[in-house]
């Protein structure tokens, strides 16, 4: 992701054994980075799913991250999201409304 290759993020994320990661902070980081990759590839529904999963795992490590806040700002205006209500709720909790 940091190298500016969003397609690689998604491809590589599919090979990670997330259940093997013992730390909730690291799991949330994984889902946050995956969400960023999806978002950069204009796969907003997948990005929303990944962000919401990260938030369920470790909200204290998700809600104040600038990357997450930027993605939530972008997603909250999308009319094509399947989970629009959940993203709007997350934006409200993050005080982005």
Q: Which residue has the tokens 């949330």?
A: 28
> Which of 45, 48, 94 is closest to 71 using CA atoms?
48
Cβ atoms of 33 and 11 closer than 8 Å: no
Classify residue 87: in a domain, yes or no: yes
Q: Considering its fold, how many domains does the chain have in total?
A: 1
Its pTM stands at 0.84
Q: Is residue 52 part of a domain?
A: yes
Q: 6: closest CA among 55, 60, 43?
A: 43
* Structural domain for 14, as ranges: 6-93
Position 31 in a domain: yes
Identify whether 1 is part of a domain. no
pLDDT 10s per residue in the chain (97 long)? 665 666 666 666 676 677 778 899 999 999 998 999 999 899 999 999 999 999 999 999 999 999 999 999 999 988 889 999 999 999 999 999 7
């Amino acid at each position: 992701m940091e190298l500016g290759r969003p397609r690689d993020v998604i491809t590589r994320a599919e090979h990670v054994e997330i259940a093997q990661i013992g730390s909730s902070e690291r799991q949330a980081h994984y889902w946050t980075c995956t969400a960023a990759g999806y978002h950069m590839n204009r796969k907003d529904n997948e990005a929303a799913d990944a962000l919401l999963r990260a938030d369920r795992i470790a909200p204290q490590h998700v809600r104040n991250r600038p990357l997450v806040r930027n993605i939530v700002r972008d997603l909250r205006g999308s009319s094509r999201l399947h989970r629009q209500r959940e993203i709007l709720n997350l934006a409200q909790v993050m005080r982005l409304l």
